[in-house]
Amino acid sequence: MKRVCIVTPGALGSNPRVVKEATALQQAGYDVLVISTRTLQLADDRDQAILDEVSWSSIWLDYSTAGWNKWRLKLWRLWQAVAERLYRLTAISFFADHSCSAFTAPLLLTTEKVQADLYIAHYVAALPAAARAAKRHHAPYAFDAEDFHLGDPPRGEQGDRERKITRAIESRYLPSCAYVTAASPGIAEAYTEAYGIPQPTVVLNVFPLNQAPEAPTPKGTATPGPSLYWFSQTIGPDRGLECAVRAIARAQSKPHLYLRGTPAAGYAGHLKELAEEQGCADRLHLLPPAMPQQMERLAAEYDVGLVGETGHTPNRRICLTNKQFTYLLAGLPVLFSDIPAHRQLANELGDATPLYSVDDEDELAQQLDALLLSSETLSKSRQLAWGLGQGRYNWDVEQEFLLNNIKLLLNCKIEKSTVRKALM
């Protein structure tokens, strides 16, 4: 049985893409090991719930804030800061690798001990670990780009330093990847343009059919309603939420806005103040976070889903988050802000995903009224969204793009000398 080692600097509960990939590979007959981290005890229940349900193996690097682990993480962060300074002084690639994240060094130490037939890195911080382990064990490695990492840091001196480190790492390791996958067509194109690598395979952030509700419904059940729904790990700025508050204040349908996640520091108060100013404070509702596998059934309780990205960074203009695909699988029509990634996808989805101009509350209010003031229109839009989720935009379909890459790679007889040469 071929063994695949997946490496991520994040926690399992915040990496649904890792969990889906590992489960798909395990179900396809591979021996799968996932190396991830533990940093927040608050996320332990979510991580443990995932581990209780899956049959692949896991190494959980514990750097939580409890006991000695807290000091170990502080030491790794100190080493990261030293490595970043040394990289600025010397431009040596070893220091660039360790400048990316405090988790890069422990991931390197752990992954190199694992013998596998393929190593898959998620996020830049895991890329040196996957590449080094692959070199040691004469195996191929791959990279999954959930974001365009060069386009993620904000403008300014700190952002420039982060981009320099990211470019140093990606330009060193990506050309020798056996394959690269990307979470949107825009991200795939950006990586090809930035590094001259072959076009990555697009694997969208969609979800399994078994997480969908049993059947479509003509409207949501949330009360009070009608309802507009949005979710994320963090409820914070630059996600179009201020525009949404202003839009529900203007819409004739008087919709309620439901936001699920953990508010960033001070942000809940900011939104509530804005809602007070707009006269719709009684129609703003903050909901607690939930397990990833519950998101589709929870979303189905609401009428319409919102994806209001403002495109405030180059990455945010071309990435596709998991929201729109969660909504489609749940049977919700999607209201999209008009950024390049949304525009491209909306052309494929048709009437289930009307667009509104970024931060244009009047246009968003009009789109809300078009759906919510007509029960017939809402029902038809929900039926259309359900069909798209069931027929195309789900993990049961999308995982084949990933599995085809790996089957082709691991079923081919690759000479060890060829692999070794590629990894030098």
Length in residues, the chain: 424
Tell me the per-residue pLDDT of 65-108, one tens digit each, with 9 for 90 and over: 665 677 888 899 999 999 999 999 999 999 999 999 999 999 99
Question: For the chain, how are helix, strand and coil distributed in percent, rounded to 5?
Answer: 55, 15, 30
Report DSSP state, residue 197.
P
Mean pLDDT of the chain: 91
Domains 3-206+396-423 and 209-393 are alike in CATH topology: yes
Q: How many whole angstroms separate alpha carbon 212 and alpha carbon 330? A: 6
Residue 288, class by beta-carbon neighbours within 10 Å (0-12 exposed, 13-18 middle, 19+ buried)? Answer: exposed
pTM: 0.91
Rg of the chain's alpha carbons, rounded to an integer? 22
> Mind giving me the DSSP string for 225-236?
-SEEEEEEEEE-
**Whole-Å CA distances, 366 to 106, 203, 306, 342:** 51, 33, 14, 19
Question: E strands of 178-303, at which residues?
Answer: 179-182, 201-202, 227-235, 256-263, 284-287
CA dihedral (312, 317, 322, 327) in degrees, to 10, reads 90
Q: Where are the domains of the chain?
A: 3-206+396-423, 209-393
Q: What is the pLDDT of residues 305-362, one digit of tens each?
A: 999 999 999 999 999 999 999 999 999 999 999 999 999 998 888 776 789 999 999 9
Please tell me the distance from the alpha carbon of residue 347 to that of residue 201, in angstroms, as a whole number.
20
- Mind listing the pLDDT tens digit of every residue in the chain (424 residues)? 899 999 999 888 888 899 999 999 999 999 999 999 987 666 677 788 888 888 899 998 887 766 567 788 889 999 999 999 999 999 999 999 999 999 999 999 999 999 999 999 999 999 999 999 999 999 999 999 999 999 988 888 888 999 999 999 999 999 999 999 999 999 999 999 999 999 999 999 999 999 999 999 999 999 999 999 999 989 999 999 999 999 999 999 999 999 999 999 999 999 999 999 999 999 999 999 988 889 999 999 999 999 999 999 999 999 999 999 999 999 999 999 999 999 999 888 877 678 999 999 999 999 999 999 999 999 999 999 999 999 999 999 999 999 998 998 998 644 433 333 333 3
Indicate the angle between helix axes 127-137 and 157-173, nearest 10 degrees: 20
pLDDT reported for residue 153: 86
Q: What secondary structure letter does DSSP report for 92? A: -
Q: Which CATH class is domain 3-206+396-423?
A: alpha beta
pLDDT of residue 47: 81
* C-alpha closest to that of 222 among 302, 331, 334, 327: 302
When the candidates are 3.30.450.40, 3.40.50.2000, 3.40.50.10420, 3.10.20.740, the CATH number that belongs to 209-393 is: 3.40.50.2000
